[in-house]
Structure 1
Amino acid sequence: MLLSAGGLLHAQEPRRGGAITIATHSSSTADTLDPAKGALSTDYVRTHMFYNCLTALDTHLAPKMMLAEDISTDDAITWTIRLRSGVHFHNGKPLSAADVVFSLKRHNDPALGSKARAVTQQFDSVRATAPLTVVIVLKGANADLPVMLGTAHFAILAEGTTNFGTANGTGPFRCKEFSPGVRTVGVRNPDYWRPNLPYLDEVKLIGIPDESSRVNALLSGDVHWVNEVNPRSTRRIRGEPGFTVQESQSGLYTDLVIRQDMGLGRNPDFTLGMKCLIDREQMKRAAFRGYALVANDQPISPSNRYFFAGLPQRPYDPERARYHLRRAGALGMTLPVVASVAATGSVDMAMLLQQSAQKAGLNLALKRVSADGYWSNHWMKSPMGFGNVNARPTADMMFTQFFKSDAQWNESGWKNKQFDQLLVMARGEKDDAKRKQYYADMQVLVHEKCGIGIPLFIANLEAFSSRIKGASPHPLGAFMGYTCAEEVWLEN
């Protein structure tokens, strides 16, 4: 198998120059320039401004070559990566195989706290065999490796990098300013290895957690591009000349998270009862104005080739919920559920869930908390709350990062040996029909036993000035899969 470089075509002639400001929905003092620690869409945009990965993902989530000139394998276990020559870091250092080895191996240091450690534990060895050649040997076959290497966590650093007060990458922009929780400013890298890119002179990245403030900033001209647009705001934006609303179908979801290692969450009947209280159609209409697809408590979306369509849809059923909640001893109790605008749509979803719970004899006390600090202080720490999971390019990455027993982002603390075994078997299975069956079995296990409820797959809604050209939807996430800074330009 051989993957080789490809180019990009633009329908319009790009224009060089100009500056844009991007406002995202998340920003905090936890903002980072360390790709391994990135956790939010803001971090991913920042990473792609300053660094490159070995590959990049196109709009079909297929890998194309970036810092790697080609990637080859005969058995999906031993992979040979040949790097481009003539690539330099911002400080002038030439890219070498040693940089790639350092960047990939550092994820397995527990002290680092890499968000991709659950993925890189598949690496048996990573070594340089020539100045521009790296060989990766996996513990088991995984044909998805080139896709994995195209995600933001796997951006390549200069060997020995420990200071992340600024960024020294090979990316399209150099870091002019980085103030966590305030702003990030990147200026064009004049020595960028991709000819004629980027088009923009400067990109400023800021966070505006409040959606209405974010939209106001766009319409007033203070910013050029915003994400996480509430469906209620789309008519207003479209009614103003000079702005574009863009919708992308993806695997993004906001999920009800019930910790299975706390209180009532330890009882499977409680989890089942709560899942039966999810009125998906109502949530689609009321919380997302139709900009969503009904889901079925399985994290693989219908756009993924491994989506299991044969799983019977779980209905909204207050009577069945009452049965399971009674068995769990929860009827008549008042239980807190934590929500925040940080988790898209979760406040509206929690209010609808609260109404459904009343019909089944359960009182839910909605605890609405600030977006600032939600992910560090409440997510995965509250007995019952909400997560917000960006799409992953492969089923393996989704399952490995969020459902494997030892995954750092195992939201509900779910541990299932059968699931873990199926995950490893699916990676090494060359027969695609068998691999598809493994993934189907895993989706059934999540649907039936895991402590999360996935009501909907949410369409990514973003809006930008019509002066921005070259923008297009991407299934991985907003801002063209977080890579917009490198690709777009400003019209006069």
Structure 2
Amino acid sequence: MGKFDKDSGAVNPALTRMITEGSLSRRSLMKLLSAGAAMSSGLMGFPQVGFAAENPVKGGKLRAAMSNASATDTLDPAKSNNSGDYTRQYMFYNGLTELDKNLAAKPALAESIESTDGITWQIKLRKGVTFHDGKPLTAKDVIYSLSRHKDPAVASNAFKLADQFKTFTAVNDNEVQLVLSSANFDVPYMLATPPFLIVQDGTKDFTKGIGTGPYVCKEFSPGTRSVGTRNPNYFKPGLPHLDEVELLGVTDQAARVNGMMSGDLHIVSTLSAADCKRIKATSDFGVLESKSGMYTNLIVRTDVKPGSNEDFVLAMKYLQPREMLVKTVLQGYGDVSNDTPVPPWHPLYNADLKPRPLDPEKAKFHIQKAGMTGATVEIITTPNIEGSNEGGQLIQQVSRNTGINFKVRRVPYDGYWSTHWTKDPVGYGSINPRPTLDMLFSQFYMSSAPNNESGWKNDQFDQLVVTARGERDQAKRKQMYGDMQKLIYDHCGTIIPTFISSTDGYSKKVKGVEAWPSGMMMGYRFHEFAWLSA
């Protein structure tokens, strides 16, 4: 991939060098393409081609590495909060529904899920599904899995979302009636997400990973690795293809890439732009780019100084070198954002909210208005949150004549989420894609949201979130979500300069992988579909 097609004729060697060295800008590349230079699809910004035409090979052991690893690694869906957890849990569990590569919600453990009013939902379970220990899946397992998120003692990350669940009733062994406190037509999407994976009734010890998923848990060592062997009784015909998957946690980026290129690993998550360039220069490895709603955001707490002053927040929004971040830091693997968490390709995107330009003069005006000329502000950054170190440094550079002195303090990634995230007055966060805007807004933007990153509270916003859930008319819904984005754009302290494409590296011996917008590594489910060529 990334080479010219054989039929495209002679190629200018200087041009080839520019492409392999990455010195060709995206704009120049687009000009080249429109001029008719034929290229294969592996070049920057183009979707990876799937391998559906080839017949999968059964068997083999695949070794993969995720960028997350810590003592808090978990097999409890209620506690999952990073891509490593999600990927591991999808090996062992299934949801009632699942998202496909077009972000559509499809039946999984549920054969059907229906509602006429958005409040009362009838969930019919697929018959004949068994857990890894042989027990059949029943309505009791579903009710236990969903209701535990409502128990404060569980401390579920989906506590706020589960707030909507009013009652659960087992109609019979294969049917559950779920009643919500108010209408929400996004329920099939919500139930496809990692927190709502189905566990066995009464499970308290999650170290065994007993689920219905494609792999049976052979080993789970938090902070190190998880091993799964093929589930011979998996309910999906023909899946999975592999005999065994070993999922390692490798936080060191260079170690992941080197491990793949030396043949020790088959597929790795979270590449840097430099890694992508290096991999593209080889013939044995590929880059899987998925356009996504993933973003790194600068969090300015609005409930403490200096963020409690709206003019300071606005100044920070005018100090975002958005295009520069996409072009240099992300090397084109991303899109410019307007500080709302809705990507430009999303059907509910409010296109009237233009990304604010980098404008140090306007920033200076708002800094003066905030009475902060001469002040010193510390920005906390960390490695492993893509673009945070560079973002902090760029803000420091572009703000030199604005009257404010920014100091960038790098802290270790280990412990960052518990010690720094949402606790520092100005620091960085990183949010994985969510399948619906309701989930995104409910978890990160509502006044009562468990992860309200900037401490922003807005009654009008809260009311709109709840009202939009029960609105079936798509035009009205779009208007409501547009209004919510406007409130975030104008008043919120989370600053989102860019969306980041997820980029994973893989050996070309790995087949069956393709880009999914629901998250890295095929929506964290590559192991269900991947196979190794002989």
Given that residues 230 and 243 in structure 2 are in contact (C-alpha distance below 8 angstroms), is that contact kept between their aligned partners in structure 1? yes
What TM-score, normalized by structure 1, do the two folds share?
Answer: 0.96
Kindly state the Cα deviation for residue 235 of structure 1 after the two structures are TM-superposed: 2.1
The residue that corresponds to 1:258 in the other structure is: 300
Question: Conserved in 1, the CA contact under 8 Å of 2:51 and 2:513?
Answer: no
Distance 1:486 1:329 in 2: 56
Q: Deviations over 1:446-479 (max 9, x none)?
A: 1111111110111111110101110000001111
C-alpha separation in 2, matches of 1:330 and 1:223: 51
Q: Deviations over 1:153-211 (max 9, x none)?
A: 11001011111222111101111111111111111112222222111111111122222
Q: What is the rounded CA distance, in whole Å, between the counterparts of 1:126 and 1:314 in structure 2?
A: 46
Whether 2:495 is the aligned partner of 1:453: answer yes
Counterpart Cα distance in 1 of 2:142 and 2:215: 20
Offset at residue 349 of structure 1 (A): 1.1
| Alignment counterpart, residue 315 of structure 1, candidates 357, 374, 377 | 357
Q: Tell me the equivalent position of 1:153.
A: 195
Partner Cα distance (1:125, 1:257) in 2: 36
Q: How does 1:45-60 map to 2 (within 5 A)?
A: 45-60=87-102
Alignment pair present for 1:134 and 2:176? yes
Output the CA distance in 1 between the equivalents of 2:330 and 2:360. Answer: 22
- Out of 306, 320, 326, the residue aligned to residue 284 of structure 1 is 326
Deviations 1:249-275 (A, max 9, x none): 111111000112222121111111111
Spell out structure 1 runs of 4+ moving beyond 4 A: none
Deviation at 1:9, TM superposition (A): 10
Q: Deviations over 1:39-87 (max 9, x none)?
A: 0001110110000000110111111111001111111211101001111
More displaced stretch, 156-165 vs 205-214: 205-214
Aligned to 2:433: 391
Q: Distance in 1 between matches of 2:385 and 2:57?
A: 36
Task: Give the whole-Å Cα distance in 1 for the aligned partners of 2:355 and 2:414.
Answer: 35
Task: After superposition, give the CA deviation of every residue in 1:81-118 in whole Å (9 maximum; x if it has no partner).
Answer: 10011111111111000100010011011221211111
SS in 1 for 2:386: coil
Match of residue 3 from structure 1: none
Partner of 2:27: none
Which residue in the other structure is 1:43 paired with? Answer: 85
Shift of 1:11: 2.2
Give distance in 2, aligned partners of 1:9 and 1:141: 40
Residue 342 of structure 2: which of 300, 303, 313 is its match? 300
Instruction: Map Cα deviations across residues 335-386 of structure 1 (whole Å, 9 max, x no partner).
Output: 2211112311211111111112223122221111222221122111111111
Name which of 435, 451, 455 aligns with 2:477: 435
Q: Confirm whether residue 332 of structure 1 aligns to residue 365 of structure 2.
A: no
The answer as to whether partners of 2:51 and 2:512 remain within 8 angstroms in 1 is no
Q: Which residue of 1 aligns with 2:72?
A: 30
Per-residue deviation, 1:141: 1.6
Alignment length (residue pairs): 485
Which residue of the other structure, out of 417, 427, 448, is the alignment partner of 1:406?
448
Q: Partner of 2:28 in structure 1?
A: none
Which of 1 and 2 has greater Rg?
2
| Partner residue in 2 for 1:188 | 230
Q: CA deviation at 1:403?
A: 0.5
Q: Tell me what 1:380 maps to.
A: 422
Is the Cα contact below 8 Å between 1:342 and 1:374 reproduced in 2? no
Q: Which amino acid aligns with 1:449?
A: H
* RMSD, aligned α-carbons: 1.4
Whole-angstrom CA distance in 2 between matches of 1:178 and 1:25: 17
Counterpart for residue 59 of structure 2: 17
Q: 2:497 is aligned with what amino acid? A: P
Which residue in 2 is equivalent to 1:422?
A: 464
Distance 1:265 1:110 in 2: 31
Whole-angstrom CA distance in 1 between matches of 2:76 and 2:129:
20
**CA–CA distance in structure 2, aligned partners of residues 31 and 207 of structure 1:** 9
Q: Secondary structure in 2 aligned to 1:111?
A: helix
Cα distance in 2 for residues equivalent to 1:26 and 1:222: 18
Alignment match, 1:88 = 130
Distance 1:71 1:186, change over 3 A: same
| Residue 236 (structure 1) aligns with | 278
Q: Does the 8 A contact of 1:210 with 1:341 survive in 2?
A: no
- In the alignment, what sits opposite 2:508? 466
Q: Please give the residue correspondences for 1:140-179 in structure 2 after superposition, counting only pairs within 5 Å.
A: 140-179=182-221
Is residue 325–residue 387 contact of structure 2 (8 Å, CA) maintained in 1? Answer: no
Structure 1 position 315, deviation (Å)? 1.6
- The amino acid that maps onto 1:197 is L
Cα deviation digits, residues 269-302 of structure 1 (max 9, x gap)? 1111111111111111221112111110111112
**Which SS does the other structure have where 2:70 is aligned?**
coil
Partner amino acid, structure 1, of 2:149: H
Q: Name the structure 2 match of 1:4.
A: none
What letter matches 2:360 in structure 1? P
The farther-off stretch of 152-161 and 21-30 is: 21-30
Contact 1:250 1:303 in 2 (8 A): no
Partner of 2:148: 106
1:142 is displaced (CA, Å) by 1.3
Identity, in percent, stands at 48
Letter of the aligned partner of 2:449 in structure 1? A
- Paired amino acid for 2:519: G
Distance 1:53 1:10 in 2: 24
Query: Counterpart amino acid of 1:16?
Result: K
Of 328-337 and 133-142, more deviation after overlay is shown by: 328-337
